[in-house]
Structure 1
Amino acid sequence: MPDTRFPENRKQLPKVLVFDTSGPFVAVGGGTNGSFGGRVLDMAKGQAETLFPTIEGFLTDSGWTLADIDVIGVATGPGNFTGIRISVSAARGLGLALGIPVFGITQFELAYGHLPVPHGTLVSVPAPRDLAYVQGFGTGVIIGQPQIIDPAHPPRDLQLPFEMEIRGHRASEIAVHFNAAGYDDAYKPDPARMADIAQTKYLEAAAFPPPPAPNYVKPPDAAPARDTPPRIVA
């Protein structure tokens, strides 16, 4: 059950566990007292089978058990549909079983650390099929909804209502279309940065957070079967 006395009894030096399976990898990490680390395993498939053994390995190396964890951070996307479901479901289950808070962290936060980024920023992270996920930010606020775009042909509605700069995946390519400044930066999973963000969310939270929700942006590629399903006989 959720900790009904949070945040009054939260620890100032929490033990943090984080994980991310939103792309072709399994990233697991954490730490405490600002000392964070982790591991990233590159893999196109098999995240579901690999996530918990990797978590167990990290905990063993840290000298912890799951019962020692005070807070969980999980990547909520955007990214691979199945991968996001794996990690968010695991985080929600662990949080419920342990009675500890679970904070969702978007890929935009993972790309640029503690949001907000500079006023008027469009953050871009990689998407499948040579596309990009983008999200606009103002001063401490999100602007609009995240989108998936072709960086070579971005839609005009990406223009923010003030001077804009683009940061991240293929940023300079996107920026050309808006006469804006672009700062290219390659995105890669970083468990240490993720743990730092999770700790900050934990220490700053005004209440026990709701369970994290996936941030898919785009629907899954899978489509319902076209064949008529068999009739179920009671």
Structure 2
Amino acid sequence: MNVLTIDTATPAVSAGVVRRDDDGTVRTLAERVTVDARAHAEQLTPNVLGAVSDAGLTVADLDAVVVGCGPGPFTGLRVGMASAAAFGHALGVPVHGVCSLDAIGIHTDDDVLVVTDARRREVYWARYRDGVRIDGPAVNAPADVALDSSTAVAGSPEHAALFALARLDVAYPTPDGLVRAVGDWGDPQPLVPLYLRRPDAKPTVPKSSVPKSAVAERK
């Protein structure tokens, strides 16, 4: 099957096309990546169309969509997951959601810590043993992330440098990593974003909802 992959959980706006054979073998046919934390909305669709074209296919040749569901910032995840759902609906193909950190950790061996930028001087993290997640995902300050038996770190180079571990080259979720992270290719589960914390923006409280007693106290 031909699988469209999308991930916007990190500054890398990633789209790819992966061929998955019946025996589970995966091969990346094309990939378009723009590393810009402010360009998710502008770059995702061009990257998707570019990757499909680079693979020598049309969108009608796609059989499934896999999307990284985070953890990641609210706005970035919303762009990627909404786009994946829209492509799936328009093409009539299933959409599978996976943990974006898994698409990095699945490439690793031994005990590895995977970290990405959570802003606010924090990191999103998970631990993997032979490519299988054994802890996380979670969000913490780097100093509060227990290394346990981890011998190496992968993910955001800037944040991986905060840990006294050997650094691996895998920095962002990859198309084949996203496809390999799908555990069940049966009926997909509803897409659930892994925000891990509330968004920064808060809705404004309508004036009518403010108790009269509170208004009186202000006067």
Q: Is the 8 A contact 1:131 1:150 kept in 2?
A: yes
Letter in structure 1 aligned against 2:172: P
TM-score by length of 2: 0.73
- The question of whether the paired residues in 2 share the 8 Å contact of 1:172 and 1:183 is answered with no
In 1, Cα distance between equivalents of 2:54 and 2:113: 38
Superposition deviation, residue 214 in structure 1: 1.0
TM-score of the pair, normalised by structure 1: 0.69
Q: What 5-or-longer segments of structure 2 have no aligned partner?
A: 21-26, 210-219
Q: Deviations over 1:15-38 (max 9, x none)?
A: 121122223342111132624331
Q: What percent identity do the matched residue pairs reach?
A: 29
SS in 2 for 1:107: coil
CA RMSD of the aligned region, Å?
A: 3.1
d(CA) in 2 for partners of 1:206, 1:188: 26
- Distance change in 2, residues 1:201/1:144 (3 Å): closer
Q: Which of 208, 216, 224 is the matching residue for 2:203? A: 224
User: CA–CA distance in 2 between the matches of 1:60 and 1:206?
Assistant: 25
Matched AA of 1:216: Y
- Look up the match of 1:82: 75
Instruction: Supply the AA of the counterpart residue of 1:20.
Output: D
Aligned runs of 1:115-194 on 2, under 5 Å? 118=110, 121-137=112-128, 142-143=133-134, 145-151=136-142, 153-154=143-144, 158=146, 163-165=149-151, 167-168=153-154, 170=159, 173-174=162-163, 182-185=165-168, 188-189=171-172, 193-194=174-175
Q: Which amino acid aligns with 2:167?
A: D
Contact 2:74 2:199 in 1 (8 A): yes
Secondary structure, counterpart of 1:77 in structure 2: coil
Q: Which string of whole-angstrom CA distances, capped at 9 and with x for unpartnered residues, describes residues 43-89 of structure 1?
A: 34242233223322322333322221012121211122111011111
Q: Structure 1: 5+ residue runs without aligned partners?
A: 1-13, 176-181
1:39 is paired with a residue whose SS is strand
Structure 2 partner of 1:71: 64
Moved more, 68-77 or 23-32: 23-32
Q: With CA pairs under 8 Å and 6+ residues apart, which has the higher RCO, 1 or 2?
A: 1
Structure-2 residue corresponding to 1:22: 9
In structure 2, distance between residues paired with 1:106 and 1:145: 10
- The Cα of 1:107 is off from its aligned counterpart by 2.7
Structure 1 165/219 Cα, relative in aligned 2: closer, same or farther at 3 Å?
farther
Q: Determine whether 1:103 maps to 2:93.
A: no
The 4+ residue runs of structure 1 with deviation greater than 6 A are none
Using the alignment, how far apart are the partners of 1:118 and 1:200 within structure 2? 18
Secondary structure class of the residue paired with 1:17: strand
Is 1:56–2:42 an aligned residue pair? no
**Whole-Å separation in 2 of the counterparts to 1:199 and 1:46:** 24
Shift of 1:148: 1.6
CA contact (8 A) 1:72 1:198 kept: no
User: Quick one: distance in 2 between partners of 1:198 and 1:172?
Assistant: 24
Alpha-carbon shift at residue 222 of structure 1 (Å): 1.1
Asked if structure 2 preserves the Cα contact closer than 8 Å seen for 1:124 and 1:166, the reply is no
Question: What is the alpha-carbon distance in structure 1 between the residues aligned to residue 185 and residue 14 of structure 2?
Answer: 28
Asked whether the 8 Å contact 1:167–1:184 carries over to 2, the reply is yes
